[in-house]
A and B are shown apart, each in its own frame.
Chain A
Amino acid sequence: MAILKFSDMTAMELQFQVEKLQSNYVECIDDDRLEQWPEFFVEDCLYQIISRENEDRGLPVSAIVCDSNAMLIDRIVSLRNANVYAEHFYRHIISNVNIKGVTDEVVSVQTNYLVLQTRLSGATEIYNSGKYLDEIVATEDGLKFKQKKAVFDTYQIQSLMVTPI
């Protein structure tokens, strides 16, 4: 497959492609296909979940920060085989997919997200709300995240965080 060139695309085409990527990404997590989750990122990537409380102060501590695709895989291997937590489902609601900048190689996008969590009791709660600050690149395998930074408003994490946002 030929590599897409962002500058050759119309604004509508680009918007469509980016929204499609976001939809596929959250579906992968919500449908518990976490083994496929790292495939949404390039090898040399940055995945970061950071509270708004820290982000606004310019402080770097993050709930999760991975600076390689291999670290994403390790997270999932750990989640499946090592970590102990209450079973749950996520449901991501995304909105306001807003392209902020385009170069030949990178699209910068800000997107709102809401993660609802359902535990085995059957009750659904708002678990995490925030925004994605993404940098998307085109590869032979389609669009991928060079960076995905989830800045969350819900800076009081309920119980624990194990599943990626």
Chain B
Amino acid sequence: MSTILKNKFNEVNWPEDRGVCEVPYQVFTDKNVYDSEQEKIFRGDNWSFVALEAEIPESGDYKTTFIGDTPVIVMRDEEGQVNVVVNSCAHRGAAVCRELRGNKPNLECVYHQWAYNLKGDLIGVPFRRGIQGNGGMPKDFKMQEHPLRKLRVGSVAGLVFATFSETVESLEDYLGPMTVTAIKRICSKPIKVLGDQRQYIKGNWKLYAENTRDPYHASLLHLFHMTFGLYRSSQKGVSHMDDTKRHSMLTAIKDSDDSTEDFKNMRSFNTEFKLNDPSLLAGRKEFDDDVSLVILAVFPNLVLQQIANTLAVRQICTKGVDAFELVWTQFGFEDDDKEMQAIRLKQGNLIGPAGLISMEDGEAVEIVHDSVIREQDKSSYIAMGGGKAENVDHLVSEGTIVGFWKYYREAMGY
């Protein structure tokens, strides 16, 4: 590729600041942008969510997952410490762990049986000293110089994060007080994992980052509550960010509806339909406040949610510039009684890839991605609520999306 062409593709032409947020569609479809994000964001100075501690409670428990598109292993060692390593053998790069999850006393690459302990240190190399004088590794070969690539690991209230960076601030500082408080509010007790769901969405991961920082769409795209006369129009809530603007927290208060006027002209506003089985929405108050919805979007790859009594983490694993997998892990608490678990599972119909109030998000990502493919010189126009990255105490805003892009540009150097 000529230098001129290469430069062209490495550049992102951000529109001049007109006082609102305009995002060039190129960032959703340009493979060079994607590759750059892997280095600067997912393998850069950020912490990525990798697991719930409750997924790997015992020594030797492990799960395989991804940070961006880098495969990693999350495992608990004999001392109870959680370690995260890149899932690639120090010998010739093969995957050391091929299952989704399990329990092993140590890791062994199937290719040449190089073995590692649960910290990622190399502990065995077959034929290291050769066989009957033949072969063997060089005399100066030192096993301690060939571990799996180890990441820094941190954990807050049972949520495990990892980073490739040696320089990024501590996990708590990275998350900031707003995010830490919100995580601790939801994960206040020992967690019990109820199961996973995996949703493969054919669109760029940042369209989902926008979607989960977008209170504007909630009542317009997700029409379930509206259709069944259950809405909640000018619902009270907040759209807040941390100081860096990279994390966002949207909350709504239960039954804070005070007007239905504004919604009369919406395409589905009617009470023609009633739920035949309202037990779907039967819930139980479980927090000290009246917050019934929390969508906590933690940069770059996590959403922690409370929707009524459904609690879940959603992890974004990027699959190239034009797809990502969204892994939903729904959980309750160890001390849930039978009825509480039943409530969480029944309300589970609301969330996930088949969720009555969440399935549309995958659709929204895809209809944007498919339509901006050749609109590389065009930009989106994000201005609801003023187009500024400002915290507001309402949900008629896109300020939290603006905050995402502000931080993204800093992280990427755009």
A residues in contact (CB < 8 Å) with B: 49, 51, 53-54, 57, 59-68, 70-71, 73-75, 77-78, 81-86, 155-162
Tell whether B194 is near chain A: CB-to-CB under 8 Å.
yes
Interface residues of B in 351-371 (CB under 8 A from A): 352-354, 356, 359-360, 362-364, 366
Q: Once the chains bind, are A86 and B346 in contact (CB under 8 Å)?
A: no
Q: Once the chains bind, are A160 and B362 in contact (CB under 8 Å)?
A: yes
Complex contacts, A61 vs chain B, CB 8 Å: 194-197, 330, 345, 348, 352
CB distance from A160 to the nearest CB of B (A): 4
Tell whether B279 is near chain A: CB-to-CB under 8 Å.
yes
In which size bucket is the chain B interface?
35 or more
Which residue among B199, B279, B346 has the maximum number of chain A CB atoms within 10 Å of its CB?
B199
The 0/1 profile, CB within 8 Å of A marked 1, for residues 215-228 of chain B is 00000010110111
Complex contacts, B197 vs chain A, CB 8 Å: 51, 61, 63, 157
Tell whether B110 is near chain A: CB-to-CB under 8 Å.
no
The 0/1 profile, CB within 8 Å of A marked 1, for residues 317-337 of chain B is 000000001000010000000
Q: A61-B197, A159-B199, A159-B202 are in contact. Are A85 and B349 (CB under 8 A)?
A: no
Tell whether B198 is near chain A: CB-to-CB under 8 Å.
yes
Complex contacts, B186 vs chain A, CB 8 Å: none
Complex contacts, A49 vs chain B, CB 8 Å: 354
Complex contacts, A73 vs chain B, CB 8 Å: 276-277
Complex contacts, B100 vs chain A, CB 8 Å: 53
Tell whether B95 is near chain A: CB-to-CB under 8 Å.
no
Tell whether B389 is near chain A: CB-to-CB under 8 Å.
no
Extra contacts besides A71-B279, A157-B354 (18): CB < 8 Å: A59-B194, A59-B195, A60-B194, A60-B341, A61-B196, A62-B345, A63-B352, A70-B276, A74-B275, A74-B277, A77-B276, A81-B273, A83-B356, A84-B223, A85-B359, A159-B201, A159-B363, A161-B353
